[in-house]
Structures are given as structure tokens and as C-alpha cells.
A and B are shown apart, each in its own frame.
Chain A
Amino acid sequence: MIISRNLTKYYDNHLAVDHISFHVKKGEIFGFLGPNGAGKTTTVRMLSCLTKISEGEAFVNGYSVLNDKVNVKRSIGVVQDVANLFGDLTVRQNLRFMAELYHVDKKRVEEIIKQFELPANKKFNKLSFGFKKRAVLAAAVLHNPPILFLDEPTVGLDVRSSRHIQNLIVELNKEGHTIFLTTHNMAVAEKLSNRIAIINKGKIVALGTPQELKSMFTKMIKVEVVVDNPRKDFLKELQQFHPKVQSNTIIMSTKDLQEFLDVFYPLTKKYRIKVRSITSRGANIEEVFLEVTK
């Protein structure tokens, strides 16, 4: 649905996006993560015809972003990182205007208002931030585009509004929309995305399913042990696992869990340490993100 080949953006001499290539499959939610200034929004802007491509090419729904902008625009709905419907118009006026531009039946406007539970007669600039985001998402799907670009759709929202938007994203994906999702929220990305690309300093540094990424970057296993008395001499003997103590909890890291246990248990006996619990886990997407964007 989306193909990017060596997509590049220069702002004067600054290289914002550096020859990135990827493809997004039909029907998937493609998470696009990266730190601030990594090139996420610039990539979305290039793919949605808002920013000129400096080098490379991209195809959206089979149409060239360079040569067939009108058809690209017909195929996409975009939620930008700002809530940017027309402030002095009501929600209904905004959606009707969009319906006119996309030649959509006015009945669809009422359907969308109902589906997104929007206050139709309220002016857009009088809405709460959560409703603004919802209204922008509603405007993006009004013409039922096969592809949605969602740039930070949950940023700045409270938990309830964020959850509501996430549910809408899942619902829209089930309806058949392919979704290109950029977010800072690792939990949201991990929960919603079928595949994730991580961009850093304009380059894609990791790409795969959340599971693939986690296993790729699970070099260290974290072990959390709760003991009765984390004695200093006992901790000294565990130095190789870089122990960090928080009250009765010791957090350590190891490359090999068995090797850790072979060392740890004899020491607990030696120092008569009573172990209350022991848990271990691999990397999550946040840790993968921190690792690849160092």
C-alpha cells in the first residue's frame, strides 16, 4: 500500500530524512517510532504530499507521490500532529466542507458524527483537546480512504481520551484501513502495531514485528529478586550482574539466565538470604527503542 524507496529530505543543508526504504502492507498498522527530530513527521509529510521529496520516490495506494498527487490525496486520510480543522466553523460545518471537497454524500457526515460521538454544533476551537483530535480523525476517515496517516494521534490526551482514540484506530483497521502510525508512546505502538519501524537521525535503524524487534534486541535479561536482607557482602559477590538495590528488591542483568542462577543460589545459601520472589524478563519495545536510538 505504501512503498518508500530511498526517500530523502533536505532542509537547506540539513538532512532530515536519509534515503529510507520500507513498505507497508495492505491492512496492517505500521508503527513509526523515533525520538524528537528523527524525521517521523517529515516522512509522513512527504508521503502525504505536504512536503516536497528531495530524493527518492514513494508510492501510496499504487500512485506516485511525485507525479500523481491528486490520486494520492484521494487515497489517504491524514491526522497531523496538530488539531487543524477550521476553528471558527462548527464540527458539522467542517465535516460538510470536507465532504464537499471529497465529493462525499452529506449523509456520511451524520454517520461519522454519530460514530465518533462528536458535538456537531460546537465550534471546533471551543472543543476540548480530546474532542478536537477525535474530530480531526473523523475528518480523515470521512471519505473512507484505504490508507490513514496518523501522526501522534494520542499525544497530549488523558488516559480515557487516549484509550478512546486507540479503540477507534483498532476499529478503523478492522474496517480495512491500512494505518501508518507515528507515536512517542511505546506502549501504544507495541499494542497496536503489526510491524514497527524505528527511525533515528533520519535513518531507519530497526524494522520488524514487535516480537521480532524484542528478540533481536534482547541481549540482556533483567532479573528482579526480592530478598529479606540484601547484605553488602552478598551484593559484592553479585557485582558481575550489576545489582541495583531498591529497598528489598535487587535488579540485575545477565546474558544467560542459567549462568545467573548457578551463581545466585549458592550465594543465597552461603549468606543465608531468604528469597521472597524472583522474576526475569526480556526487552520491551521501549528498551529496544532506547538501544537503537542511542
Chain B
Amino acid sequence: MKNVYYLAKKDFFQYFIKPATISWGIIFPIVFAMAFVVRGRDINFLAPGLIAIASFFGATSMASTSITFERRFKEFERLILAPLSYWEIVMGKVVGSLVFGLFVSLITTFITLPFLGIQVGNPLLLTVACILTSIAFSSIGVFIALIIKDPRNIMIVVNSIRLPMIFLSGVFIPLSASPTILQYISLLMPLTYAVELLRYSFTYNAFIPIEISLVAIFVWFFIFLVLAVASLKHKY
């Protein structure tokens, strides 16, 4: 666990404590929220989706950027050369990105939501949901960054996964109002469970039962964690 902490701490100082990163982490959710405000209706419905997207973008961006930079300049091989297990390396990267994903989602929650005048039903569940959501999305970002062949293509790949997921995960259209086929497709998206979990923490009401969303988010995190470790083992 100590090594995971050291890796995450290194990423924190190397990537997070930077004016550009912090500005992005603050401006991105505010601008995103403004777009929702301009729309002017269904704010209570859209707010959980906003937090989930903020966490999704924050965590996956940080995971993929830090790893691809390090892979490109062979800094990542410093970690491979150290006497660490592959689990420790992957978890170190996941925890590092989790911190940023959580930072962005909490900024969204604590700055933007009061501005929109939205009440949170269960703050504890909201916090747990933000942590789980960020950790699951971090593991997705780490996995993608490790399997991609050419690190320069990372953003194309990440966005081609992120953008369809945003539109298929019940962020903008309630799952209950979606066609059955889209409902089935949305069940394959980790973002769906994050949105449902966050929605429940606001309104105590969600299309997917909270227990299933909690387990599903954790399962997605674990699946991508295992896949990321397997891809490291395959490479080295």
C-alpha cells in the first residue's frame, strides 16, 4: 500500500499541482454547468449526470495523460524497473487519477450545485458515489492508456469511448424513457451506474436499484483493474 501511495503522490506533484491542470479542473465543470443552466429546465434531473461526466472526464483524462506522457518519454519504464508489483503500479496510477477525478467532481458539486439551487438528498451517499465513480473511471483511463499502441492517439481513442457513452448512459434522457434496445445497451456502460447512483443520492429515486449500481460500479472498476494489470504483464 505504501508504494501505491508513493506513486500517487508523485503523480499529484508532477501533474496535478499545476496552474493549467487546476484551472482546467475548476473551469471545466463550471462551463459545463453553465451549459446546463442555459438549457434552463430539468436541472434536478441533469445535475447527477453533470457530476458523473465531470468525474468521468477528470479521471480518464488524468489517467490517460499521465501514462501516455510517461510511456512516450520512457519515464514509465522507471516504474517498471522499480521493485514493484504490477498491481502496485496500476493501483498507484488509479489512485493518482482518482484524486483528480474526485477533485473535479467535488468542485462541480460544491461550487456549481448551490449556484443552481439544488438540494442533495444523501450527502454521504453522494460522497461515496463520487469516490466509486472516480475510481472506476480512473481504472478505465489507466487501462486504455496502457493498451494503446501509439500514445499520441490517446485522446482520439478516449474520446471515441467517452462521447458515445455520455449519450447512451441516461445523462440527458431518462433510461425509463429510452427505447428498450438503448436500455440494454446502457446497461453495458459504467457511466450509467455512476449516473444512477448519483441520481439516487440526490432524489432517492433511480431507474436501476442502488444496490445494483453500487455493485456494478465496483465490478467495472475491478474488471478494468484486472485488464490493466494483465496488459502490463503482457507487455513486460
Binding site for B on A (CB under 8 A): 48-52, 70-71, 73-74, 76, 78, 80, 82, 84-89, 93, 97-98, 100-102, 139
Contact = CB atoms under 8 A, between A and B. Distances in A.
Pairs of residues from A and B, 5 with the lowest C-beta to C-beta distance, nearest first: A84-B74, A100-B6, A101-B82, A73-B83, A74-B83
Nearest to A75: B83
Interface string B170-208: 000000000000000000000000000000000000000
A139 B14 CA distance: 18
Contact of B74 (A48, A76, A80, A88): A80
B3 interface: yes
Contacts of A101: 3, 6, 79, 82-84
Given A49-B80, A80-B74, A102-B82, 15 more contacts: A50-B80, A50-B81, A51-B236, A70-B83, A70-B84, A70-B85, A74-B83, A76-B81, A82-B73, A84-B74, A84-B75, A88-B18, A89-B13, A98-B82, A100-B3
19 contacts: A48-B81, A49-B80, A49-B81, A50-B77, A50-B81, A50-B236, A52-B236, A70-B84, A73-B83, A86-B75, A86-B78, A89-B10, A89-B14, A97-B6, A98-B82, A100-B2, A100-B3, A101-B6, A102-B82
Contacts of A97: 6, 10
Given A50-B236, A80-B77, A86 B82 contact: no
Interface string B1-21: 011001000100111001000
Nearest to A149: B81
Nearest to A101: B82
Nearest to A52: B236
B12 to A, nearest CB: 11
Contacts, number: 62
A84 B83 contact: no
Interface string B53-93: 00000000000000000100111011111111100000000
Nearest to A45: B77
Interface of B: 2-3, 6, 10, 13-15, 18, 70, 73-75, 77-85, 235-236
B122 to A, nearest CB: 38
A36 B207 CA distance: 62
Contact of A86 (B14, B81, B83, B236): B14
A76 B81 CA distance: 9
Nearest to B85: A70
Nearest to B235: A52
A87 B75 contact: yes
Contacts of B79: 101
Contacts of B13: 89, 93
A142 B226 CA distance: 32
A211 to B, nearest CB: 34
A72 to B, nearest CB: 9
A255 B134 CA distance: 75
Contacts of A49: 80-81, 236
Contact of B73 (A52, A84, A93, A102): A84
A147 to B, nearest CB: 12
A73 B85 CA distance: 11
Contacts of A78: 81
Nearest to A48: B81
Contacts of B80: 49-50
A76 B73 CA distance: 21
A86 B74 contact: no
Contacts of B77: 50, 80, 84
A101 B6 CA distance: 7
Given A50-B80, A80-B77, A101-B3, A86 B10 contact: yes
A102 B83 contact: yes
B78 to A, nearest CB: 6
B82 A73 contact: yes
Contacts of A98: 78, 82
A74 B10 CA distance: 20
A97 B13 CA distance: 11
B74 A82 contact: yes
A82 B13 CA distance: 23
Contacts of A93: 13
